[in-house]
Amino acid sequence: MSSLQALIFDVDGTLADTERDGHRVAFNQAFEQAGLDWYWSVELYGQLLSVTGGKERMAYYLDKFNTGFPTDSSTPQMIKELHASKTMHYTELLSTGAIPLRPGVNRLINEARENDMRLAISTTTTPANVTALLEHALEKGSTDWFEVIAAGDIVPAKKPAADIYNWALKQLNLDASDCLAFEDSRNGIKSSLGADLKTIITINDYTKDDDFSGASLVLDQMGEPDSPFTTLAGDNYATSYLSLDLLYKIHAA
């Protein structure tokens, strides 16, 4: 039987609630700075989240929501420049400490480290954004705690494709059966299940109605000893917060 050797975390929505008050805000700042009248409301952004990746999301917006905006062969370059600007605004925002980690994340990661569990990241967001979140919301230097950071354009097909998880597993030199994945969205779990990873979901406002069939456990949050999670699906083994002990049980099931 395989043993649990590594935890692979999604970033946006899983480690922190970054979308509504982080990425969305930064996109709007980039649009305004470029003199565009584009504005992504909280509601519109929820619809745009069906496409992962900031550049891909902007292309989707032009294709389906802002169809009157003239596009030509220079549009991909414009999107690239807007995205670079958005990344600058986003990392600046994170450097103020505006976006904290979700409940239980810091505790679980530290418990994993104390027990020599290997850690990795699998995300569609840009590497600079991962570093900014870890350094400002987790701990200075904590980027180094993650042996593998699979992020952004490192694979051509973003989530829901399984490529980013498969890439992370290859770098870890582990089988999917040796690991657990942590996700928050339908696109995320499609990707992790596509790589044959058992997956634990913590939902958020944008993903609470997503279809999480196939998840080992669906929670509202990771929880803390004094602040229990609510279990939405799956077996929590009569526990109230996500601990390494619970992860071993889920992995062995």
Contacts 24+ apart (CB under 8 A), 84-88: 85/29, 85/30, 85/33, 85/34, 86/23, 86/26, 86/27, 86/29, 86/30, 86/54, 87/26, 87/54, 87/126, 87/128, 87/129
Q: Verify binding: residue 243, ligand XBP, rule CB under 6 A.
A: no
Pairing of strands 179-183, 148-151: unpaired
Give the CA radius of gyration of the chain: 18
Instruction: Answer yes or no: 209 catalytic.
Output: no
> What's the rounded Cα separation, in Å, for the pair 202 and 223?
10
Q: Verify binding: residue 19, Mg ion, rule CB under 5 A.
A: no
> Which of 91, 106, 126, 202 forms a contact with ligand XBP (CB under 6 A)?
126
> Which of 4, 8, 9, 12 forms a contact with ligand XBP (CB under 6 A)?
12
Q: Verify binding: residue 125, ligand XBP, rule CB under 6 A.
A: yes
Cβ 48 vs Cβ 61: under 8 Å? yes
Question: Which x/- pattern, by CB under 6 A, does the window 175-194 give for ligand XBP?
Answer: ----------x-xx------
Q: Verify binding: residue 159, ligand XBP, rule CB under 6 A.
A: yes
Question: Which x/- pattern, by CB under 5 A, does the window 117-136 give for Mg ion?
Answer: --------------------
Q: Verify binding: residue 152, Mg ion, rule CB under 5 A.
A: no
Binding site for Mg ion (CB under 5 A): 10, 12-13, 184-185, 188
Q: Any idea which residues carry the catalytic annotation?
A: 10, 12
